Structure 1
Amino acid sequence: MKAPTPSLWLIMLLASVIAITPLAIDMYLPAMQTMVTDLNTSMALVQQSLSIYLAAYALGMLLFGPLADMLGRRPLALAGLCGFLLSSIMLSIVSSIESFLVWRAAQAFCGAAATVVIPGIVRHLYQQNTAKGMSYVSMIMMLAPLIAPALGSGIMVLANWQVIFAVLAGYALLLVGLSWRFLPEITRPDDVVKPAFFSGYRQVFANKAAWPDIATSMFASFSFFTFLTAVSFIYISYFGVSEQLFAVLFALNVSALMLANFINSRLVTRQGPQRMLGVGLVLALCCASLLSVFNYLGLGLWYTVLSIAPLMASLGLMATNADAMILMKFPEHSGTATAVIGTLRFGIGALAGPLLGVFYNGTALPFSLLMLAGTMCILVAQLTRFYQLRLQGA
């Protein structure tokens, strides 16, 4: 069966499915304080729901990645979206924090089933131009974290926090209908044997040529999670900006990520994902170094703003191209490869908060140095790739 020609509508659908994760994470953040009162609990437990979501999502990716390779992507995506829909409905009617945490984990687990299949579909549709397809999907998907906090705040003005999860349920219902009608299945040739559950993980981890790209994706995610964890402290507490200006500055960084993916989509077919990744790495090293110097010298807000925005763009550039090169190495195990990438990303991203806490000194310098450290680790990974290629050519 010939793969369908990629269209803008199909790419928008794939991006919309992936967007359930940032929407589920970011939309309810403005409601946390109200939830503490309504559920008669503590802020610590409500905040714990975010960690539970990330953990359940990572666990779901580990399970559903190989299953996508074994069972097919369309049925798994539909099942995951239906589970996400049911969990969101239950979250909108819970009356205790215990029930909220249980259904929050279920929501993340089902969301992983829906989203883990998308990179494999992109790989199938775009073949050698996977990096271009991933750029399109990432660029559109970035609208979700751009609007999610504002959407959650708007709902809280007009209604209660339960409506946030009702809206997520409605969004999932819409995606179920669209996916049932338009989401393609990737058929496996008759002479190709379906992989066993653990064979995909063996294939991925045994391919040493993929290790530098996996490490690149992982440490780009570490830097990104460092930004997400520290950005409210840096802008609001340290530099003293208003909540309105904070929203503008946060949107600026998300816009930089979107711009990077747009540029990548236009250039990567001619330049290749490896060269575009190299451009992103050079830009990241320069911006992370400047950010560290600016914060070491205690310079003002706009020095930080003007160095963070291109740094975030460069992280997006590196992550998108690294992910594309990984998927191109595993055409028969794209679901498993996506699971490995996602699990390592969320796992190392979870270290950002504790490390920021360990090195906290009341300034923006620890944040800057951790961003620089993540970028330096990417440099080491890419130098390792260069060394591997030299050995092969020797």
Structure 2
Amino acid sequence: MNKHPSISLKFLLPLLAAIIAVSPLAIDMYLPAMLAIASDLNTSMPMVQNSLSIYLLGYSLGLILFGPMADKYSRRKLVILGLSGFFIANVLLPFAMNIEQFLSIRFFQAFISSAATVVVPGTIREYYGKDTAKGLSYVSMIMMVAPMLAPSIGSVLLLAHNWQLIFYVLSAYSLVVLILVIYALPEVNRASANSSDQTAKLSNSGEQVKSAQDFTFIERYQIVFSNVNARFYIITSMMVSLAFFGYITAIPYVYLKVFNVSETWFSVLFALNVCGLMSAHFTNTRLVTRHGSKVMLRSGLMLACVSVSALVFFNYNELSLGYTVASLLPLMASISMIAVNSDALILAQFPQQSGTATAVIGTLRWGAGSLAGPILAYFYDGSALPFAYLMFAAIMVVLSCQAIIHFKKY
């Protein structure tokens, strides 16, 4: 499984998780400080909230640029570039004098950090090969600690000093990870990444097939989007992202307003679902090498279909909170299992364009996720039903995509 014996996977995976965690930390850690930032910069709360949308926009645009570059240039150097830029941005943010400067630096912070994170799935693929889903599950499981703890860390730092300290801590974190990358992250041997039949085949005219280094920026995207099977897995990834962000968007209202739970119980129930997500990733690491990503994806999809149907039934009949919690726990676990295995199946089809494929997955996933808020707002009726219907619709689209892939074989 490990084609690069120069580094232990036990050390590599936490390092890759630390790299990809920069975005969850940058998104979640400053949330408790938004009011303080608005006050210090003499602006409104909605303007500070816009910094989250600005970050998502910058990150998506960065993925589009750096994804193809990760297939052609040194991945290690891209990680160093991304972490260095992220470090600089965090040092500059506390010195912002107005909201315009703050938003501009946040855009740069997100854009440049994507250079580091976009290489992670491709790097995992090089080390894990056909067991890519196992590596992705390990990294996701480790990385989930970041969004779990980030808001609490931000609150402590805000109470200890001020909102500027949050970004100083982020800069210190990125500096530590950068040093570890410089000394420990190896460069991928691209010769081993390309299968011999891809680099040695001859066309009918006798010309050699292009190597990974010869494709242009546009050609890399054409290759990804022209793969019919990959399209359905990409749609699958988009729909589970829509479901996940639908959960993130709606669950505070559902728990706090519809079911009238306290803030303390909300935190407990939210953490319970995060534990469910982590358990699903752990289960996937144990079973995916034995059964394969396709079987694990379909198993997760079967569980999702049952759970989301139960969620709709319970809320349509206005049953108590316990029923919704009981349906959401397996539903969110199954969504995470679908996501990680669909990503692995996409990457498996693009050994020479893993960076581009990662960019496509990331950009479309964030784009689909951003639709959750407007959809829920449009169908708002004061109940949890719009949320349940959104989750159901997303899972049904996934089911349709997987049915098409399955029956195309026959």
Please indicate, yes or no, whether the TM-score normalized by the shorter chain is above 0.5: yes
Query: Counterpart amino acid of 2:233?
Result: D
Counterparts of 2:274 and 2:363 in 1: how far apart (Å)? 23
**Pairing partner for 1:260 from 280, 290, 300:** 280
Task: Give secondary structure in 2 for the equivalent of 1:259.
Answer: helix
TM-score (norm 2): 0.93
* Inter-partner Cα distance in structure 2 for 1:158 and 1:319: 38
Given that 2:55 and 2:110 are in contact with CA atoms closer than 8 Å, whether structure 1 keeps it comes out as yes
| Partner residue in 2 for 1:99 | 101
Please tell me whether the aligned partners of residues 65 and 335 of structure 1 are also in contact (alpha carbons under 8 angstroms): yes
Structure 2 SS opposite 1:389: coil
Matched residue pairs, number? 390
Inter-partner Cα distance in structure 1 for 2:233 and 2:3:
29
Are 1:47 and 2:49 matched, yes or no? yes
Preserved contact between residue 240 and residue 338 of structure 2 (Cα < 8 Å): yes
Q: How does 1:228-307 map to 2 (within 5 A)?
A: 228-307=248-327
**C-alpha separation in 1, matches of 2:140 and 2:22:** 13
Q: Distance in 1 between matches of 2:320 and 2:94?
A: 43
8 Å Cα contact 1:131/1:268 also seen in 2: yes
What does 1:159-238 align with in structure 2 at a 5 Å threshold?
159-189=161-191, 192-194=211-213, 195-238=215-258
Counterpart CA distance in 1 for 2:322 and 2:219 is 50
Q: Residue in 1 aligned with 2:379?
A: 359
Query: In 1, distance between residues paired with 2:3 and 2:251?
Result: 46
1:28 aligns with 2:48: no
Which residue of 2 is the match for residue 137 of structure 1?
A: 139
Q: Distance in 2 between matches of 1:119 and 1:213?
A: 16
Match of 2:388 among 365, 368, 372: 368
CA contact (8 A) 1:359 1:366 kept: yes
Tell me the amino acid that sits aligned with residue 66 of structure 2: F
Which of 312, 315, 319 is residue 335 of structure 2 equivalent to? 315
Mapped contact 2:72–2:212 kept (Cα < 8 A): no
> Given residue 67 of structure 2, which amino acid in structure 1 is its aligned partner?
G
Report the AA paired with residue 106 of structure 2: R
- Structure 1 residue 238: Cα displacement: 2.2
2:4 corresponds in structure 1 to 3
Letter in 2 for 1:328: A
Q: CA RMSD in A?
A: 1.4
Contact 2:238 2:364 in 1 (8 A): yes
- TM-superposed CA distance for 1:193, in Å, is 4.6
* Equivalent position SS for 1:357: helix
Q: Report sequence identity in percent.
A: 51
Q: Counterpart of 2:79?
A: 77
What is the deviation of 1:6? 4.6
Indicate conservation of the 8 Å contact 1:27/1:148, yes or no: yes
Give distance in 1, aligned partners of 2:349 and 2:229: 9
Q: Read off the aligned partner of 1:254 and give its amino acid letter.
A: V
Matched, 1:377 2:397: yes
Q: CA deviation at 1:2?
A: 5.4
Deviations 1:279-299 (A, max 9, x none): 100111111111111111222
Residue 318 (structure 1) shift: 0.2
- CA displacement at 1:35 relative to structure 2: 1.7
Query: Rg bigger for which structure?
Result: 2
Q: Using the alignment, how far apart are the partners of 1:306 and 1:105 within structure 2?
A: 39
Aligned residue type for 2:64: L
CA distance in 2 between counterparts of 1:389 and 1:185 reads 38
Match of 2:129 in 1: 127
